[in-house]
Amino acid sequence: MTEKTYRVIQWATGTVGSAALKHFIENPVLELVGVYVTNPDKVGKDAGDLVGLPKTGVLATGDVDAILAMDADCVLFAPSMMTPPIDMVCRLLASGKNVISPAGPFLPNKWFPEETARVEAACAAGGTSFHGCGIHPGFAGDILPLTLARLMNRVDCIEVSEVIDKVRNPMIYTEIMGFGMDPDELLANPRRSPETYKAFYSSMAMIAEGLGKEIEKVTVRLEVSRALKDIKHLYGEVKAGTVGGQHYEWTAWCEGAPLIVYHFYWQLGEDLDPLWEQGEARYRVRIAGDPPLECNLLGGQDSDGRNPFLGLPWTGLVGATAVPAICDAPPGVVSHIDLGVVQPRGLVRRQGSSELALMPWSVHG
């Protein structure tokens, strides 16, 4: 059987974009036709060289017009979070390319009516679809808990926690996020704006919609923990007594009670007061109700025995594996609920025969 193939462009090759680019090169159902980069050192490089794979013949370009003129089915749009992306997303959609974006515009919701209208108009002009997804928002806080709710008799409250130790899993934004600041100063001026939940609101609303409910309001809270000693991390050092941990909590209320709570526990090591979480970085879904449920999502164990934080590569892959479904969807903004169960293609690729010899299999059928 010949599988339908899809022509794809990778937009930006940071951590997220590189994971998607590697997938596009390796997945036989997807044909890489273009790569857009901003870094002048990457312009003209073969896409394979950018991600440590054999040459592909596709050279990275910094020419936006060349990308817009390409004949492609889909763009995975993963530029830096520092750039408001709506104009470019709309140009790509209007040029006849479906767009999957972990970078925004945030999954359209009631807080962003103008952006939603613009994206819808661009989809109509190009006969294309737009899908926003990533690990969170876009998977761990929406489709995952909604799917897990099928294992429940009654749901009282859904809690989704992102737990990251930023010493073990260094991130360049550590200082920008206020680690090392005076705790009272950070509490008075949080680096993650109290409005940020609006970008994640679609995920909360998607759970509520899936459960046939509506969110009445969202409340937000921030608490910080202090470093008990000087803590070194890859991008600097945090002094004892300053902010070493942050816990953002956003609660979506329904019928007068919390229905969905998102926690973000970001900690620098474990010498913190208080220490909220221990162990490997993970996404954790807890559903209170009957019967209570807990599910932890973390990277598979490495040879060093650790479970790495894979949130960034997962963000690229959850978008890349949706390419066939988004290309085949009717024009417009497409949510997880619109998509139903996505059927990723081209993932089963045998790499030589298995060395494992157990016992002869019996063959049926």
Ligand X SMILES: NC(=O)c1ccc[n+]([C@@H]2O[C@H](COP(=O)([O-])OP(=O)(O)OC[C@H]3O[C@@H](n4cnc5c(N)ncnc54)[C@H](OP(=O)(O)O)[C@@H]3O)[C@@H](O)[C@H]2O)c1
Q: Kindly tell me the burial class for residue 209, based on how many C-beta atoms sit within 10 Å of its own C-beta (0-12, 13-18, 19 or more).
A: middle
> Counting contacts by CB under 6 A, is residue 37 touching ligand X?
yes
Among 44, 69, 80, 232, binds ligand X (CB under 6 A): 80
Among 72, 99, 102, 313, binds ligand X (CB under 6 A): 102
> Counting contacts by CB under 6 A, is residue 136 touching ligand X?
yes
Query: φ, ψ for residue 237 (rounded to 5)?
Result: -140, 145
> Counting contacts by CB under 6 A, is residue 329 touching ligand X?
no
Nearest residue to ligand X, scored by beta-carbon proximity: 14
Cα–Cα distance measured from residue 294 to residue 23, given in angstroms and rounded to the nearest whole number: 30
How far from 96 is each of 72, 128, 198, CA to CA, in Å? Answer: 8, 6, 29
Nearest approach in angstroms of CB 296 to ligand X is 17
Among 28, 39, 176, 273, binds ligand X (CB under 6 A): 39
Among 3, 64, 83, 239, binds ligand X (CB under 6 A): 83
> Counting contacts by CB under 6 A, is residue 79 touching ligand X?
yes
Cα–Cα distance measured from residue 302 to residue 315, given in angstroms and rounded to the nearest whole number: 19
Nearest approach in angstroms of CB 70 to ligand X is 16
365 touches 344 (CB < 8 A): no
Nearest CB to ligand X, comparing residues 102 and 183: 102
Cα–Cα distance measured from residue 300 to residue 309, given in angstroms and rounded to the nearest whole number: 9
> Counting contacts by CB under 6 A, is residue 137 touching ligand X?
yes
Nearest CB to ligand X, comparing residues 183 and 309: 309
Cα–Cα distance measured from residue 243 to residue 92, given in angstroms and rounded to the nearest whole number: 41
Q: Which residues of the shown chain bind ligand X in the complex (CB under 6 A)?
A: 12-17, 37-39, 42, 78-83, 102-103, 134-138, 312, 315
